[in-house]
Amino acid sequence: MAHPPQMSADVAVAPEVAAALARGGAVVALESTIICHGMPYPKNLQTAMEVEAIVRDNGAVPATIAILDGLPHVGLTSEQLKRLAISGRQFQKTARRDIAHVVASGGNGATTVSATMFFAHKVPSITSAKSSYQSSLSFLGLVGIPIFVTGGIGGVHRHGEQTMDISSDLTELGKTPVAVISAGVKSILDIPRTLEYLETQGVTVAAYRTNEFPAFFTEISGSQVPCRVDTPEECAKIIYANRNLHLGSGMLIAVPIPKQQAASGTIIESAIQKALKEAEDKRITGNAITPFMLERVKELTGGSSLEANVSLVKNNALLGAKIAVALSNLQQSKTNRVARSAL
C-alpha cells in the first residue's frame, strides 16, 4: 500500500524522499519545467521516468518537484508524473517569483531551476520527524537536498547590458546552497557575461573533466572555468566544503555533452550560429530574440535537437546520482567523526 506524503502547512514530501533524508541517504532534485514545457507527450513522460530510473539505479532517490493544485510537492508518484506530462503547457512555468501566486491561486506549476532550488533547499525544515542523523546534519549546517540535476540553466541574454534580461537561475545560485548539475548554458545566451555574473554572485563554477565551460550542445564555448573536477568524489568534497562553511551560495557543475552526441551537437550548434546571424541581420533583439531563435533552430535541424537534449539530461542524471552518493558517504563519515569526538 502506498504511503501518503509527509505534510506541512506548505509542502508535501514523498515518503521515499523523506525516508532517504532521514537516514542521510542520497537524494537528487529534478525540475518539472522540462516535462511540461521542454518536450512533447509522450516523449516527456518516457524521459522523466527514465531519468528517475537512472538516479535510482545509481544509488540515489529522485525528487521531482512541482506544484499541484496549489501544493508544492517534493517527489512525485508515477500518476503525478503522467499528469504533468499530459497537461504540458497547461502547467504554469514557475520561477521563484511565481511561487506565491501559483500556490495562493491553487494553481499548477512546473518548476524552473530557481523554484526547484528553492524547494530542494527548504525540504528538511518541513519534514515532520527529524532523526538524530538529520539533527547532526543540521548541527553541521548541512540542510536541504544538496544536488539538483537539470539540462541547462538560464543566463545573461545577448544585449543583456541593455535589456537587463538576466535569468533568475543566476541570482538563485547566488543565494541558495544547492549544487546544480547541468550541461552549461546554450550559446544563444551571452556565456562570458553569464560567467561574470555568476562570479559576482559568488557562485563556484566547475567543469567536469574539462577546463572549458560547455555550451550545452557543444563542449566548446571559448570560456575557461576557474575550477575543474574529475570524479564524483571531488565534486562531493567541494559541495561539502561550500555548505559546511556556510557560504550561502550554490554551485554549478557543468558537464560536457556525451561523446556519442557530439556530432549531432555540432550540427545543432551550427544551426544556432546561423540563426543568431539571421537575428542580427533582421535586427531582432530583446525579448523577441529567444522565441525567434528557438523556432528557427527547430526548423534548421528538423527537430533533431530533442534527442540531443534528452541525452544530455540523462548524462547529467547519471553523474548527479553518483555525486549525491559520494556526498552522502562523505557526510556520514564527517557526522560519525563528530559523534565520536563528543563521546
Grouping H, G, I as helix, E, B as strand and the rest as coil, residue 27 is strand
Instruction: Please report, for residues 114, 263, 299, the alpha-carbon distance to residue 134 in angstroms, rounded to integers and kept in the order given.
Output: 25, 45, 50
234 labelled catalytic:
no
The dihedral of CA 264, 279, 276, 293: what is its sign?
Answer: negative
Which cell is 285 given? 533583439
| Catalytic option among 82, 122, 186, 322 | 186
Question: How does DSSP classify residue 157?
Answer: B
Nearest to 63 by CA among 159, 170, 174, 148: 148
| Catalytic option among 31, 52, 172, 269 | 31
Contacts of 259 by beta carbon, 8 Å cutoff, 6+ apart:
none
186 labelled catalytic:
yes
- Check if the beta carbon of residue 327 is closer than 8 Å to that of residue 236: yes
Q: How does 275-294 read in b/e, with b if 16+ C-beta sit within 10 Å?
A: bbeebeeeebbeeebbebbe
Grouping H, G, I as helix, E, B as strand and the rest as coil, residue 297 is helix
Calpha distance 284→157 (Å, rounded): 13
| Positions marked active-site | 31, 186
